[in-house]
Amino acid sequence: MKDYTEVTPEMINRYNRPGPRYTSYPTVPAWENGSFAKDYDYYLQQEGQKDTPLSLYIHIPFCSRLCTYCGCNHFITRNDSLVDEYLDVLEIEIKQTALYLEKRKTIQQFHLGGGTPTHLSISQLKRLHQMVSQYFDFSPDGEMALEAHPRVTTNEQLELLYDLGFRRISFGVQDLDTHVQHAINREQTIEQTQRTFYKSRELGYSSINIDLVYGLPRQTVETFERTMEIVNEMRPDRLAIYNFAYIPNMFSAHERAIQEKDLPAPESKVAIYLASIRFFTQAGYRMIGMDHYAVDTDELTIAQNNHTLHRNFMGYTTLRGLSQIGIGVSSISDFGNGYFQNEKDLQSYMQRVHQGEIPTIRKKTLDDDDILRREVIETLMCQCHLPIPEIEEKYQISFPQYFAREWEAMKEFETEGLLEFQGNMLQLSKLGILFMRNVAMPFDRYLQHMGKDRHFSKTV
């Protein structure tokens, strides 16, 4: 089967087109817009009748400074009173959610995302944890994780979070070159990054991830190789290396603050991408899937080997089948064969919660075909193979007949060396892992109705 080393710039340019990242299926652009408080109430109460643990995500949207590359839902402020008001609102939503869930209160997975959760002060972090533990129980063997910005994360915060039970932490680094940092308004010294990383190691965090981004303005192969060398010296357990999606028609910061002329030319961006693959695979990291790498002893690697890897809105995870409850502005819930998203505007979100409303603005209820396609896409993205007989038995279908159009697309990918048919198994090659979004896209029945794919970043 073809390996990473056989990828060519021509192949990357041919496959490099807009496409979903498939943190969900159907993807967000296919969801309904509106107010769905009654639906969310009903679905949540149905979840409350089950006796399995939950995944809880809380979105902290605050940053003290705008990083102009960022496409996350964030709010720039240095106003502590606004953060306290947001925590007031979170407490209302947490309490109401717990009431709907009735006796289902055990959290197996807890994740703080942002923004920058370490924008919160020591007292605010303590308060947030107390709010959650007042209404929910943390499983003794559960997973607690957060995202953090090394420039604003203090040793005291790291110590507190460890004492509260957090063992997984993900640091946004993006790039350590000063010229690139200046171009994206994210000044973060090597010393700050190393201090935060090594302090986390010293405290005993069991899994540390570092995020990098390729394709940023003023970035070159040489500058990014230096960043990779510094990161590899720290030796994180996991790495995520994301493609910078320059989408000025969706993100105003891209339009205002990033000059297209400063971005790497397409061939240079491809060269940076290939350099990152070669560097980290030669350094002993395993490419888990789209954008993600892990050492051989990491749980993600072991789970992929055992075909138990899962993917949700927080990324790759070893925890399968958990109902995910989202709390906070723009947060997403995934349970009961349905998705719900909260209000994305901060002030509107807080106002609606204060008024006693459930602040949902989007939903998608999955039909039988959605459920089947979701499993096919997730299996490809996580396990890098499709056990066709298992899917046929589970859904009582003939795979080549049900997916006749998609089957022909798979044959074309086979010709390209992206996958092989091994008996009754469809297996991605290592080369195919680089293009797994492309391989998954034929199974997405909504793509053809989305115009010019303006909603999505390019696949490479």
The gap from C-alpha 152 to its chain's centroid, in whole angstroms, comes to 22
Question: What per-residue confidence (pLDDT) applies to 250?
Answer: 52
The residue to which tokens 């602040």 are assigned: 359
> Cα separation of 92 and 219, whole Å?
44
Cβ-in-10-Å burial (0-12, 13-18, 19+) of 355 comes to exposed
Spatial separation of the C-alpha atoms in residues 275 and 407, rounded to whole Å: 33
Q: Which helix (H) or strand (E) holds 115?
A: none
Joined tokens for residue 251: 């993100």
Cα separation, 37 vs 35, in Å, equals 6
Q: What percent of the chain has pLDDT over 90?
A: 65
- Cα separation, 345 vs 73, in Å, equals 9
- Give the C-alpha distances (Å, rounded to integers) separating 263 from 227, 240, 245, 314: 18, 20, 11, 28
At 307 the pLDDT is 85
Average pLDDT over residues 338-345: 95
Q: What is the dihedral of CA 131, 134, 135, 141, to 10 degrees?
A: 100
CA-wise closest residue to 320 among 104, 98, 52, 51:
52
- CATH code of the domain occupying 25-365: 3.80.30.20
Confidence band, pLDDT 50/70/90 cuts, at residue 213: very high
Q: What is the CA radius of gyration of the chain?
A: 22
Rounded Cα gap, residues 136 and 95, in angstroms: 9
Query: How do residues 16-30 score in pLDDT, each as one tens digit?
Result: 888 888 888 999 999
Q: What are the φ/ψ torsions at residue 30 (nearest 5 degrees)?
A: -90, -5
Give me the mean pLDDT over the 25-50 stretch: 91
According to the model, what pLDDT value does residue 451 have?
60
DSSP state of 283: T
| pLDDT over 80 at 99, yes or no | yes
Q: What's the maximum distance between 2 C-alpha atoms anywhere in the chain?
A: 62
pLDDT grade, residue 387 (50/70/90)?
A: very high
Q: Are strands 54-60 and 323-327 parallel, antiparallel or unpaired?
A: parallel
| pLDDT value at 255 more than 60 | no
β-pair partners for 211:
172, 240
Strands of 419-422's sheet, edge to edge? 385-387, 425-428, 419-422
CB atoms within 10 A of CB 172: 23
Instruction: Give tens-digit pLDDT for 258-282.
Output: 778 888 987 888 889 889 999 999 9
Question: Percent of the chain, pLDDT > 70?
Answer: 95
Q: What pTM did the predictor assign?
A: 0.92
- So what's the pLDDT on residue 21? 86
Nearest Cα neighbor of 200 from 240, 175, 248, 234 is 234
pLDDT reported for residue 258: 75
Residue 48 has pLDDT above 90, yes or no: no
C-alpha–C-alpha distance, residues 457 and 254, integer Å? 13
User: So where are the chain's domains?
Assistant: 25-365, 368-449
What number does CATH give the domain 368-449?
1.10.10.920
For the cut 60, the answer to whether the pLDDT of residue 13 exceeds it is yes
Strands 425-428 and 419-422: antiparallel
Which residues of 24-105 form beta strands (DSSP E)? 32-33, 54-60, 62-63, 75-76
CB atoms within 10 A of CB 302: 14
Is residue 270 within 8 Å of 215, Cβ to Cβ? no
